[in-house]
Structure 1
Amino acid sequence: MSLSPARLRVLVAALLSVSFLGALDHTVVSTSLATIAGRLGALEHMSWIMVGYTLAATAMLPVVGKLGDAVGPRLIFVLSLVLFLAASLACGFAPDLGWLIVARVFQGLGSAGLQLMSQTIVARVTSPRQRPRYMAVIGAAFPIAIVVGPVVGGLITDYWSWPWVFWLNIPVGLVALALALAAVPRLPGGAHPRFDVPGSLVFTVSLAALVLAVTWIGDEALRPAAIACAAAAAIGLILLVAIERRAVAPILPSRIVRSRTILACLGLSLVVGAGLFSVVAYVPTYVQMAYRTSATLSGLVPIATVLGMLVSSLLTGWLVSRSGRYRLYPVAGTALAASGLATMALLPPGMPLWVPMVVMAAVGIGTGAFTNLIFAIVQSAASRDDLGVVTATTNLVRQVGAAVGTAVVGGVVGFAVAAGLPDGLDAATLTPAMARSTPEAVQDRIGLVYHDVFAPVFLGLACVYVCGVVIAVLLPAGRLTDEVPTVGSELETAESRA
């Protein structure tokens, strides 16, 4: 469906507002987490405020994608936004942790629909060549939220009351809802309205078990539960394969995974999740310990990374929309990011802080060159009836890669730091402030331990990006067209051009 330029601009503004809303909520809440849990008297269980949201948002992606294909993305988008706003209101009124966790689960459900349907709607109303530009604009919400969210969360926590962390969503969401109702067209559902209920249930439970397993495996007290969840996920996967082979409308149609273009994009999405998101979570700690900086200054390194992503993503989207050619950017981007992470591994101790800032900015530039572009590519290789499913699968692979990568990096860092610290220092209770209060010689030793622990971590993540280079080289060359999609398949066209 083709829209007028004015209506398309209003639509993009609505989708950008909603994407920013979901991304900002996550970063604002993470900053206020300890305060919220402390006020509710459940500091020891505060991780569930984030885990409940993440579980719901991740596990529901394929289900929401299939629903969007079946009944049309506009309905799912509006319902998701209403659910997100209602859950935000409920979060602010939470009298205890149980109430808050349930409300956060519903927030996560709404967030999954908002994220996914925004990308699907863009794919339904633009041509393949237009998509990289608009995907980059909507994708800009994430890096901007990473920069703005912690500041907003800190200000609300320090100078206001914690319910406004959630109620902040209401006015922004209502404006986005009004824009969406006016600008999002009534897009029809797909040709396969049947829904795979058994497969969706088994998949959701299995994925939830997997996320819990990788979340809990680093906690010694929860390790038996993590192993049980991993076993349940493995059994669920076997059961899911059996169900999907007999399903009339499986949640992941086999025709999708037969496309070389789609498989390559899924591999690149996994690289983004495992290669970048996992390291960004731990870079501030590394900088505080190895470079002896404050928490505020340590935030400059991830900020440099996401700003590099933002600039690169917007520039790449504009360039691909002009030429239609896309293969160069994933190849060059993965190579640049791999070089940046390898450089991080080789940096000697005692370098000025601007050095890791520049290097990690290069990693961000490399990743931004393809992180949003692959959605435009993968959607151009799928039929209109599979847009929701293929977009959901690409997001899902990234989320799982981030969860597993973060768990692995966290486990390696925790074990290696504990083994390398000088006698008398406990890794479980050592904070950057405590480290800076120790004698100069001890500070040097702590900084060297963190440097030596993170060097192989950076090198391992560089290897992940090297795998990304191979995947990007295997991505079929092609050219995005100017044709706005109609009913039918674009898969054969894209593959034949490859």
Structure 2
Amino acid sequence: MPLSPLRLRLLVASLLTVSFLGAMDHTVVATSLATIAGELGAVQQMSWVIVSYTLASTVLLPVLGKLADLIGARLIFLSSLVLFLIASLLCGFAQDIAQLTLARIAQGIGSAGLHLMPQTIIGEVTTPRERPRILSIIGAAFPAAILVGPIAGGLITDAWGWRWVFWINIPLGVVALALAVVAVPHIAGRAGRRFDVAGAVTLGISVIAFVLAAAWASAGGAQRGAPVLIAATVAILGIAAFIAIELRVSEPLVPLHLFSHRTILVCIVLSTVIGVGLFSVVSYVPTYIQMAYGASPTVSGLVPIATVFGMLVSTLVTGWLASRSGRYRIFPLLGTSAAAAGLLVMAFLPTGLPLWVPMLAMALVGVGTGGFMNIIIAVAQSAAPREDTGSVTAAVSLVRQIGSTAATAVVGGLIGAGVTAGLPPTLDAATLTPLAVRNASAAVQAQVADLYSSVMAPIFIGLAVAYGVGILASLLLPDGRLSDQLEAPASRAAEAAAA
């Protein structure tokens, strides 16, 4: 039954608050990481504060998506929010890095639900025609958090201490929980169906092995060779075993038949393109701007800000347009084309240009990506059976996250290897900083600028090619119109009739 306008507004407010809370947590903590590691005396282990959270949130996406289909998205959503708040409290009370890592694992599990369940709930209670507009509003939480998070993290850490970076989640989360209890409707699951434990364990091991292989590979060093090979082998064998399990069980964790649907498959490819083409490089752009353009760290941050701001504006505009017309194919086609063009401009920019030039180029990448990143979720949901809404939403999100992890490792490794090989003999790669470059002679500064441009150019071209794959995928997307009718799930309707 459709929600009343008031109930829908309350629901969107609740889901937007929760999505912003989950997205903010990652960016706020990243800013405070050095302070946390220093006070806990664990500088060498500080990466686990991020890695533990990322692994937990990635692995649990398909599990929570399936559980939402089986027992209802409302229960999973509220449980994830409560777990996230409890874990945030424990993170703030952590006395050493081990306690903080364990709390971050729990927080990552809750974060997976905060990311996934709002999209799943909207897919359950709104018509396909309404979804792009509402998903774009909720999806705006991600770029908004990227813009606000680093500043908020620094201010909170300086004013109150790093523990409040986690504790600040509590009052916001309680408000969101109160809204959610009132606004999120009951969504029936499929009682009596068995959860695919074997598939969940196998996929979890495979994803963990893949993420670790990518992280170790990006770290470089001869000592990393064996661990990378072992982890990659476990990931490959695990995926093969997972596919074999999914083909045999009656209620698979990831229904493989969804991949035979052209619309869903194209949406999954486009989601992977986003992870590979944008999320993998945006964290390296400030360093490139500092080295190639001689900008300060503060000024170099304007380039990713322009990217994220472009993403924020375009996701809201295109979501509204898609809901108004019902048409969706044009948005990924134009979006991938714009993003590819922006990356090609970045590849061929000469050094020494005003900073607004790369800002405009990366803003174009953000505009292009934001133009379809939430629309493809709505399209995939409309193509899947209602009873698989959680699973298909999780699949689209999972491939984006895995693609981002793998591509980030590759891009980082290529930058490190390229810069180390071509660095002037007067500079040491192990101690290279933007300040050291700015203090060097004009000739050395020019050499470093040319070096970074030559290293980054093929990377930008490669990422543009990834968006080129997205252009081809968009051309294969069926040109349909989103329905303005909310259909009952077939299996649930059959169960109700039988009862």
For Structure 1 versus Structure 2, the TM-score category normalised by the shorter chain is over 0.9
> 1:312 matched to which residue of 2?
314
Matched residue type, 1:459: I
How many Å apart are 1:239 and its aligned residue? 1.6
CA distance in 2, matches of 1:429, 1:145: 31
How many Å apart are 1:159 and its aligned residue? 2.3
Alignment equivalent of 1:331, drawn from 333, 356, 377:
333
How many Å apart are 1:222 and its aligned residue? 3.6
Q: In 1, are the aligned partners of 2:263 and 2:383 still within 8 Å (CA)?
A: yes
> 2:466 matched to which residue of 1?
464
Alignment equivalent of 2:259, drawn from 257, 260, 267:
257
> 2:298 matched to which residue of 1?
296
Q: In 2, are the aligned partners of 1:62 and 1:389 still within 8 Å (CA)?
A: yes
> 1:396 matched to which residue of 2?
398
Q: In 2, are the aligned partners of 1:216 and 1:225 still within 8 Å (CA)?
A: yes
Aligned pairs, how many?
Answer: 490
> 2:497 matched to which residue of 1?
none
CA distance in 1, matches of 2:229, 2:165: 35
Residue 433 of structure 1 pairs with residue 435 of structure 2: yes
CA distance in 1, matches of 2:121, 2:239: 30
> 1:363 matched to which residue of 2?
365
Matches within 5 A, 1:211-290: 211-219=211-219, 220=221, 221-290=223-292
Q: In 2, are the aligned partners of 1:273 and 1:398 still within 8 Å (CA)?
A: yes
Matches within 5 A, 1:116-195: 116-190=116-190, 193-195=193-195
CA distance in 2, matches of 1:224, 1:453: 27
> 2:94 matched to which residue of 1?
94
Matched residue type, 2:382: S
Matched residue type, 1:207: V
> Can you list the C-alpha shifts for 1:232-254, whole angstroms capped at 9, x where unaligned?
11121122122222111111113
Q: In 2, are the aligned partners of 1:49 and 1:101 still within 8 Å (CA)?
A: yes
Residue 205 of structure 1 pairs with residue 205 of structure 2: yes
How many Å apart are 1:463 and its aligned residue? 0.6
Residue 12 of structure 1 pairs with residue 17 of structure 2: no
Q: In 2, are the aligned partners of 1:290 and 1:447 still within 8 Å (CA)?
A: yes
> Can you list the C-alpha shifts for 1:8-62, whole angstroms capped at 9, x where unaligned?
0010000000000010000000111111011110101111110000000001111
Q: In 2, are the aligned partners of 1:288 and 1:298 still within 8 Å (CA)?
A: yes
> 1:450 matched to which residue of 2?
452
Q: In 2, are the aligned partners of 1:89 and 1:170 still within 8 Å (CA)?
A: yes
Alignment equivalent of 1:423, drawn from 416, 422, 425:
425
Matched residue type, 1:43: V
CA distance in 2, matches of 1:416, 1:137: 40
> Can you list the C-alpha shifts for 1:319-369, whole angstroms capped at 9, x where unaligned?
011110000111011011111100110111111000000111111111111
> Can you list the C-alpha shifts for 1:151-204, whole angstroms capped at 9, x where unaligned?
001112222211001001100000000000000001100377321001111111
CA distance in 2, matches of 1:462, 1:489: 42
User: In structure 2, the residue corresponding to 1:217 is in which secondary structure?
Assistant: helix
CA distance in 1, matches of 2:382, 2:243: 27
User: In structure 2, the residue corresponding to 1:147 is in which secondary structure?
Assistant: helix
CA distance in 2, matches of 1:79, 1:209: 27
> Can you list the C-alpha shifts for 1:50-88, whole angstroms capped at 9, x where unaligned?
000000000111111000000000000000000000000
Q: Which runs of 5+ in 2 are unaligned?
A: 493-499
CA distance in 1, matches of 2:440, 2:211: 38
CA distance in 2, matches of 1:323, 1:485: 20
Q: In 2, are the aligned partners of 1:124 and 1:485 still within 8 Å (CA)?
A: no
Q: CA separation of 1:222/1:194 partners in 2, compared to 1, >3 Å: closer, same or farther? A: same
User: In structure 2, the residue corresponding to 1:267 is in which secondary structure?
Assistant: helix
Matched residue type, 2:366: G
CA distance in 1, matches of 2:306, 2:119: 26
Matched residue type, 1:124: E
CA distance in 2, matches of 1:415, 1:439: 24
RMSD value over aligned CA atoms?
Answer: 1.2
Matched residue type, 2:454: D
How many Å apart are 1:258 and its aligned residue? 1.3
How many Å apart are 1:489 and its aligned residue? 8.1
Of 333-342 and 424-433, the range deviating more from structure 2: 424-433
Matched residue type, 1:183: A
> 2:76 matched to which residue of 1?
76
Matched residue type, 1:434: A
> 2:483 matched to which residue of 1?
481
Q: In 2, are the aligned partners of 1:290 and 1:451 still within 8 Å (CA)?
A: yes
> 1:383 matched to which residue of 2?
385
> 1:112 matched to which residue of 2?
112
Q: In 2, are the aligned partners of 1:56 and 1:108 still within 8 Å (CA)?
A: yes
> Can you list the C-alpha shifts for 1:401-446, whole angstroms capped at 9, x where unaligned?
1001100100000000000100032222211112111122111111
How many Å apart are 1:277 and its aligned residue? 0.3
Q: In 2, are the aligned partners of 1:129 and 1:321 still within 8 Å (CA)?
A: yes
Q: In 1, are the aligned partners of 2:382 and 2:482 still within 8 Å (CA)?
A: yes
CA distance in 2, matches of 1:377, 1:102: 37
Of 465-474 and 478-487, the range deviating more from structure 2: 478-487
> Can you list the C-alpha shifts for 1:193-233, whole angstroms capped at 9, x where unaligned?
32100111111111111011101112224442222111111
Matches within 5 A, 1:31-46: 31-46=31-46
Matches within 5 A, 1:487-498: 487-488=489-490
CA distance in 2, matches of 1:461, 1:192: 45
CA distance in 2, matches of 1:472, 1:374: 10
> 1:343 matched to which residue of 2?
345
CA distance in 2, matches of 1:172, 1:159: 19
> 1:495 matched to which residue of 2?
none
Q: CA separation of 1:104/1:466 partners in 2, compared to 1, >3 Å: closer, same or farther? A: same
Q: CA separation of 1:476/1:344 partners in 2, compared to 1, >3 Å: closer, same or farther? A: same
TM-score, reference length from structure 1: 0.97
